[in-house]
């Protein structure tokens, strides 16, 4: 099993959700996060009020999938989240040691 | 078994279960006591016959035995009594003590003491049980100075944790504020206050009204019903009505839906919690000033409203009624001083007349909303006495209405009050003057700019009033809000903006989180939704923050705050851009009136579109006359001790270099330069500069105009003269390598590339930077120079020779290199 983790632009959440659901993903976890990539933060001014945007709002998604599905789920996310502009985010895949569904006790791929 | 008989609810179940346990214990007790010196008593909820399926059964073996005999009797009693109960699955709290031991224990432990205030004899020596109860009650009364503050404190703590039942999505029936513990605490407090004991004492001492007590009793019955049903459903001892259990509990108690269950529970708990807050705050007063009858000092707040002994008092008119304005004054007094109403006065407010909504009543109402978080308990008190619905009949619909989603933590009515308080807090922040140079909060700047802050407060109060009505609550709410502001007699702007705010209160949060803010049309659409009115945008932005903060922590994350702020700034910019267009149109009209249609038309046709935005009509008239007898140089003093230099010359590359050089040679510091080329080949360049040496005063600017004329004619070697000045003032010593930052941005302006140069101030800096642009054949159209101490920021709006932005990466790199070269060279 693999954990597909993605950082995407907040307004792309619905598109990504639809895309992975269409692919057949059963569930995902989303978290509102803030961070920066190569674009760094920046300072903006509104009527003399200067404010620093050190961290840009993003959404983090975590999706558990079978090994074989991981690259294709990642690809779906990339397709759905791309705007071509700076700050589109990243997707990465990490191996998962074990998995248990709490309610039933099912383990491994059965718990997906 | 009792559990299966669903007709047995709440108290009936508790009594039936207590009877069953009684019977079992009586049988087990049997003939244990032949001496009349042992009694089996029930305590707490068992004594009150309020058992729930998962309740502990608190029993105590009271005895009067001494010596070795004791141990034997107690051991055999334990075996006879407790084991059967344990085997039957009851968790029992138990003990075996003499009356004296029990009282000694209670003296040190409030929980042990309160347990003994309710005692019921089950078997054995009745006298012993009675003696125990009497001594415990006497102890409570003797210790009242210690008992009452603890009861008051724990009641207060329950409000914070676990919180008020009426406001929780998953309420705790026992420990939540407004729950069973609050009800029991009344009884205990009554015993601590002395005879006749319990709630009767509270009634006698006027802490409770008969009406209050009736409401408490009704609430207690409902709490017990729900608790029994909940524990039946979960088959556990849980007192928390979790979301996933609410449907089953509602079905068992024949509620229409989980919503109506939560609604009724919230309503009952709200009454209890309010009464508890009121009782304990007055008990505290009694403790602080035992027997205090004499007024400390009274302060008149308004006609018929005064503050005394930390309470707001209200007088009635001779006919027993209270005029609406006086009620509002009293409410403002309570909110602004953060003090409760005197209990009698609060009851008097029931006789408040129908509001007529004259200008004073409207102002009083707005003032109450503006007073912030302390207005929340005031509104609740008014609602408790049925006064709030007289001001706002629509409140009936939202009172205790649950919101069953993961974001909300309050019922609708409390959420609305919280939203008002949060908005008032935002307005407070806008009133605090930040020391200059300090990093200023955008939200505070927005709040300060609001022209009609009261509309924000009204919008906050009304925004969710249509929750739970059929249809979209924003749309239905718009109509409701419209009706309300009309009824209250607000002006036409308020009648337009408040319903609009209600209709659109979710707009910014939705757009900010679901749309691509880097797409300019997104902000434009929001600006259009605000009818391009900056005030509407400000109010909607603040309402979005206030509403979200009042919803719960999950609804207002730093991430969402940043997105909404970003959207606001972009939409505000879009509106300003629109306003700019309107300003330009106005100026053109004004100039036509001044100069006549034809002259103005000819003049404006010679200049680029942005020209009208740069100058007022008077200045434009001056330019018009200067342009008709070119070339010319004009130098004059203007506001702020500055000097304005207007140059009309043949347009040519490097003109800015020449002029900047000439001004440097004259000893003037350029602060701003606006450069325009006419369609017929002239340049109109306007400089605003500082005159640190007072040169212009000496000769009325003659030397400046002369120097510029000479420079334009090529009679001065500017490079040499500027360098001389630079060396004269900067000294010849080692210069630290200047720290330079250059930003090149082609997004910011629609027509030009914006180049920002941050550097240490230096004589002739503008001259040298301008020459870099000239060298690359770039056209500088506007230059602004801002000085911050030793640092300067020069901003240039430039285009290339084809009148396009500089977007090619190589060209940008070349420009950077040229600028750096000029500054370090």
Q: What is the pLDDT of residues B154-189, one digit of tens each?
A: 999 998 888 888 877 788 999 999 999 999 999 999
Q: Inspect the interface and report whether the beta carbons of B559 and A32 lie closer than 8 Å.
A: yes
Q: How far is CA B262 from the centre of its chain?
A: 26
What pLDDT is attached to residue B299? 80
Region B806-821 average pLDDT: 87
**Residue A29 DSSP class:** E
* Contact status, residue B502 vs residue B477, Cβ threshold 8 Å: yes
Residue B436 has pLDDT above 60, yes or no: no
> Has residue B296 got a pLDDT over 50?
no
Percent of chain B with pLDDT over 90: 40
- List the single residue in B516, B562, B572 with the smallest CB-CB distance to A57: B562
Which range of B59-63, B223-227, B808-812, B813-817 scores highest in mean pLDDT? It is B223-227
Please give the structure tokens belonging to residue B695. Answer: 């040169």
Q: Do the Cβ atoms of A32 and B560 come within 8 Å?
A: yes
Which residues 6+ apart lie within 8 Å of B74 measured at CB? B61, B63, B96
CA B285 from centroid of its chain's CA atoms: 31
> Could you give the dihedral angle defined by the CA atoms of residues A3, A6, A12 and A13, in that order, rounded to the nearest 10 degrees?
40
CA–CA dist B17, B42 (Å, integer): 13
State pLDDT tens for residues B302-350: 889 998 878 899 999 999 999 999 999 999 999 999 988 988 899 899 9
Query: Which of B562, B571, B576 is best to mutate for the A interface (most A CBs within 10 A)?
Result: B562
Q: Dump pLDDT digits (tens) for B461-487.
A: 999 999 988 999 999 999 999 999 999
* CB within 8 Å of B14: residues ≥ 6 apart: B45, B48, B49, B50, B51, B52, B224, B228
Q: Is B644 left (phi over 0), alpha (psi -120 to 50) or beta?
A: beta
CB atoms near residue A95 (< 10 Å): 9
d(CA B174, CA B219): 12
Q: How far is B430 from chain A (nearest CA, A)?
A: 12
SS3 sequence of B563-596 = HHHHHHHHHHHHHHHHHHHHHHHHHHHHHHHHHC
Residues of A near B (Cβ–Cβ under 8 Å) read 9-11, 13-14, 32-34, 44, 46-51, 53, 55-58, 83, 85
Q: Is B741 helix (H, G, I), strand (E, B) or coil?
A: strand
Give the model confidence (pLDDT) of B530-554 as tens digits: 988 999 999 999 999 999 999 988 7
| Minimum-distance CB partner of B442 among A34, A49, A83 | A49
* Chain B residues touching chain A at CB-CB below 8 Å: 439-442, 444-445, 449, 513-518, 557-560, 562-563, 565-566, 569, 572
Q: Which of B767, B736, B612 is nearest to B674 (CA)?
A: B612
B494-515: average pLDDT: 95
pLDDT digits (tens, 9 = 90+) for B102-161: 999 888 888 889 989 989 999 888 888 899 999 999 999 999 888 999 999 999 999 888
Query: How many angstroms away from the CA of B799 is the closest CA of chain A?
Result: 24
Return the residue matching tokens 């699955």: B89
pLDDT for B1 equals 65
Is the predicted pLDDT of residue B737 greater than 60, yes or no?
A: no
Rounded to whole angstroms, the Cα distance separating B780 from A82 reads 37
Q: Do A33 and B559 touch (CB under 8 A)?
A: yes
When the pLDDT of each residue in chain B is averaged and rounded to a whole number, the result is: 87
Task: Return the bridge partners of B57, or none.
Answer: B92
Task: Identify whether the C-beta of residue B473 lies closer than 8 Å to the C-beta of residue B488.
Answer: no
Selection from B131-145, B195-209, B358-372, B390-404 with the highest mean pLDDT = B358-372
Do residue B563 and residue A33 have CB atoms under 8 angstroms apart?
A: no
d(CA B42, CA B18): 9
Nearest-neighbour CA in chain B from A77: distance (Å): 17
Cβ within 8 Å, pair B558-A44: no
The answer to whether B202 touches B158, Cβ cutoff 8 Å, is no
Do residues B225 and B10 touch, judged by C-beta distance below 8 A?
yes
Looking at residue B293, what is its pLDDT? 45
CB contact under 8 A, A48 and B444: no
CA distance to partner chain A, nearest, from residue B786 (Å): 14
Interchain CB contacts (distance < 8 Å): A and B: 52
User: What are the backbone dihedrals phi and psi of residue B270, each rounded to the nearest 5 degrees, phi first?
Assistant: -60, -45
Peptide bond into B162 cis (omega under 30): yes
């Amino acid at each position: 099993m693999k954990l597909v983790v993605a950082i995407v632009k907040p307004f792309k959440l619905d598109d990504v959700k639809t895309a992975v659901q269409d692919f057949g993903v059963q569930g995902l976890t989303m978290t509102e996060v803030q961070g920066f990539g190569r674009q760094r933060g920046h300072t903006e001014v509104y009527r003399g009020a200067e404010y620093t945007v050190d961290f840009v709002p993003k959404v983090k998604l975590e999706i558990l999938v079978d090994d074989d599905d991981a690259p294709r789920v990642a690809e779906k996310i990339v397709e759905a989240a791309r705007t071509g502009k700076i700050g589109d985010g990243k997707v990465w895949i990490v191996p998962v040691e074990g998995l248990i569904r709490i309610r039933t006790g099912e383990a491994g791929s059965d718990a997906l | 078994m009792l559990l299966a008989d669903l007709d047995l609810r709440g108290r009936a179940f508790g009594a039936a279960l207590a009877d069953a346990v009684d019977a079992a214990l009586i049988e087990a007790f049997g003939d244990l006591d032949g001496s009349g010196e042992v009694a089996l008593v029930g305590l707490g909820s068992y004594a009150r016959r309020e058992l729930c399926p998962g309740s502990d059964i608190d029993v105590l073996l009271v005895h009067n035995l001494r010596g070795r005999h004791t141990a034997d009797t107690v051991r055999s009693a334990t075996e006879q009594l407790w084991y059967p109960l344990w085997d039957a699955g009851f968790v029992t709290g138990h003990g075996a003590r003499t009356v004296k031991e029990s009282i000694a224990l209670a003296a040190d432990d409030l929980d042990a003491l309160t347990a003994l205030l309710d005692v019921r004899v089950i078997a054995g020596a009745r006298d012993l049980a009675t003696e125990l109860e009497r001594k415990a009650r006497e102890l409570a009364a003797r210790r009242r100075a210690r008992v009452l503050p603890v009861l008051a404190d724990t009641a207060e703590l329950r409000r914070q944790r676990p919180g008020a039942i009426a406001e929780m999505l998953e309420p705790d029936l026992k420990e939540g504020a407004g729950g069973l513990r609050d009800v029991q605490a009344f009884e205990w407090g009554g015993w601590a206050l002395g005879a006749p004991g319990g709630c009767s004492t509270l009634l006698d001492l006027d802490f409770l009204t008969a009406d209050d007590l009736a409401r408490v009793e009704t609430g207690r019955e409902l709490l017990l019903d729900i608790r029994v049903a909940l524990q039946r459903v979960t088959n556990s001892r849980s007192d928390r009505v979790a979301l996933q259990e609410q449907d089953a509990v509602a079905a068992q108690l024949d509620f229409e839906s989980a919503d109506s269950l939560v609604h009724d529970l919230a309503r009952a708990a709200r009454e209890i919690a309010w009464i508890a807050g009121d009782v304990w705050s007055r008990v505290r007063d009694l403790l602080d000033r035992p027997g205090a009858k004499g007024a400390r000092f009274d302060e008149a707040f308004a006609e018929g409203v005064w503050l005394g002994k930390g309470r707001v008092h209200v007088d009635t008119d001779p006919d027993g009624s209270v005029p609406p304005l006086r009620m509002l004054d009293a409410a403002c007094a309570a909110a602004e001083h953060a003090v409760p109403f005197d209990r009698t006065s609060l009851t008097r407010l029931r006789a408040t007349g129908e509001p007529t909504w004259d200008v004073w009543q409207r102002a009083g109402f707005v003032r109450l909303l503006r007073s912030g978080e302390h207005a929340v308990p005031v509104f609740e008190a008014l609602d408790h006495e049925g006064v709030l619905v007289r001001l706002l009949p629509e409140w009936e619909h939202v009172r205790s209405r649950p919101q069953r989603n993961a974001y909300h933590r309050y019922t609708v009515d409390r959420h609305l009050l919280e939203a008002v308080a949060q908005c008032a807090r935002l307005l407070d922040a806008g009133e605090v003057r930040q020391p200059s140079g300090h990093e200023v909060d955008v939200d505070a700047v927005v709040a300060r700019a609001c022209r009609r802050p009261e509309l924000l407060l009204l919008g906050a109060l009304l925004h969710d009033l249509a929750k739970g009505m059929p249809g979209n609550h924003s749309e239905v709410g718009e109509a409701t809000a419209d009706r309300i502001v009309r009824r209250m007699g607000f002006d036409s702007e308020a009648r337009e903006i408040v319903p609009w705010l209600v209709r659109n209160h979710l707009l910014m949060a939705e757009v900010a989180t679901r749309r691509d803010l880097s797409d300019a049309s997104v902000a434009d659409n929001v600006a259009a939704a605000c009818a391009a009115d900056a005030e509407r945008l400000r109010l909607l932005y603040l309402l979005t923050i206030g509403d979200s903060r009042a919803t719960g922590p999950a609804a207002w994350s730093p991430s969402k705050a940043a997105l909404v702020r970003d959207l606001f700034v972009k939409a505000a910019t879009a509106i300003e851009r629109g306003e700019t267009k309107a300003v330009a149109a106005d100026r053109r009209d004004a100039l036509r009136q001044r100069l006549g249609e034809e002259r103005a038309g000819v003049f404006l046709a010679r200049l680029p579109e942005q020209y009208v935005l740069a100058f007022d009509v008077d200045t434009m008239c001056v330019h018009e006359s200067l342009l008709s007898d070119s070339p010319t140089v004009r130098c004059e003093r203007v506001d702020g001790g500055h000097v304005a230099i207007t140059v009309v010359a043949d347009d040519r590359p490097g003109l800015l270099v020449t002029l900047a050089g000439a001004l440097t040679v004259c000893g003037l510091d350029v602060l701003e330069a606006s450069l325009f080329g006419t369609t017929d080949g002239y340049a109109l360049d306007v400089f605003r500069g500082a005159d640190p040496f007072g040169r212009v005063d000496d000769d009325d600017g003659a030397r400046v105009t002369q120097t510029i004329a000479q420079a334009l004619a090529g009679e001065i070697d500017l490079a040499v003269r500027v360098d001389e000045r630079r060396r004269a003032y900067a000294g010849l010593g080692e210069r630290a390598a200047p720290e330079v930052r250059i930003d090149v941005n082609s997004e910011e302006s629609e027509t030009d590339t914006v180049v920002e140069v941050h550097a240490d101030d230096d004589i002739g800096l503008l001259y040298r930077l301008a020459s870099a642009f000239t060298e690359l054949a770039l056209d500088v159209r506007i230059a602004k120079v801002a000085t911050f101490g030793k640092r300067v920021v020069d901003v240039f709006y430039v285009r290339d020779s084809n009148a396009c932005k500089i977007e090619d990466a190589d060209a940008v790199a070349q420009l950077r290199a040229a600028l750096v070269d000029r500054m370090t060279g």
